[in-house]
Amino acid sequence: MKDNVKRALYEATTDTGIAAMVNIPLNFVLLYVCIDLYNLPTVWTSVIMTTLFTMYAITRKTFIRLYFQRKHDVL
């Protein structure tokens, strides 16, 4: 396998692992807040969760991409 494919696969795996570790607890918290505390309807719960998860994903992917770029620029 080519070196750049291995690096891309490692970066994608790392990003997915970090996402899973954060998204699972965040999902439970958001559902609790939206449904149990505020008694929001399903559509608003979905809009809020989609918005927050999207903002988190963009931020996470940006930092992980910059980390791996710095890591491979140094080598």
**Domain map of the chain by residue range?**
3-74
E strand or H helix at 17, and its extent? helix 3-31
User: 72: pLDDT confidence band, cut at 50, 70 and 90?
Assistant: confident
Mean pLDDT of 34-55: 97
* 12-29 tens-digit pLDDT: 999 999 999 999 999 999
DSSP string, 26-47: HHHHHHIIIIIIS---HHHHHH
Structure tokens at 9: 């696969």
Query: What percent of the chain stands above pLDDT 70?
Result: 99
pTM of the predicted model, to two decimals?
Answer: 0.88
Encoded amino acid at 17, one letter: G
